[in-house]
Amino acid sequence: METVNEGKLFPEPKRKLERGFESYFYWTYPRGCFHYDVMVTLILLFIFVTPHLWNYGDKPSSSAGLQHPIQLTGDGSHGMIVTVQASDVYVPAGASDSAVKKALRQAILPVSGDAVVVERWETVKDAQGNVAWRIWAHR
């Protein structure tokens, strides 16, 4: 059976350890103190090391982006007409209209922003004979 030290419920070493953790948790150490430096070092290690250990899902996309310039014109009202080279947009053969719409929206996001709605589209040939998508969209 454990004896009570001077009316204390816990033995002295355990209580000291608890006070140490409590001081770290509430950051009670003054600046320039050894314990302060330890906490700052642990925080910096967390910031710079954990992105290499854990995948936070915030890495840039692996695609290199568009290979050709995008042509953007107004359609006279509040919309826009965007022309994108077909080679810059991946649309699987036999894709549904919703899949095509989603792929085209992703392709024009760099020039249109997030709040864009694709109304309609068609394929056209540019002056060099390359196939392109002409997309009518609005915000």
139 touches 115 (CB < 8 A): yes
DSSP 5-49: BTTBSS-HHHHHHHHHHHHHHHT-SPTTSHHHHHHHHHHHHHHHH
pLDDT at 7: 55
83 touches 135 (CB < 8 A): yes
pLDDT at 18: 85
DSSP structural state of residue 94: T
Angle, helices 12-26 vs 34-53, to 10°: value is 70
If one counts every other C-beta atom within 10 angstroms of the C-beta of residue 118, the result is 20
pLDDT at 47: 92
pLDDT at 49: 92
pLDDT at 60: 59
pTM passes above 0.85: no
* pLDDT (tens digit per residue) in 92-106: 888 888 888 888 888
| pLDDT under 70: residue ranges of the chain | 1-11, 58-66
- What tokens appear for 105 in the block? 């929206």
pLDDT at 87: 81
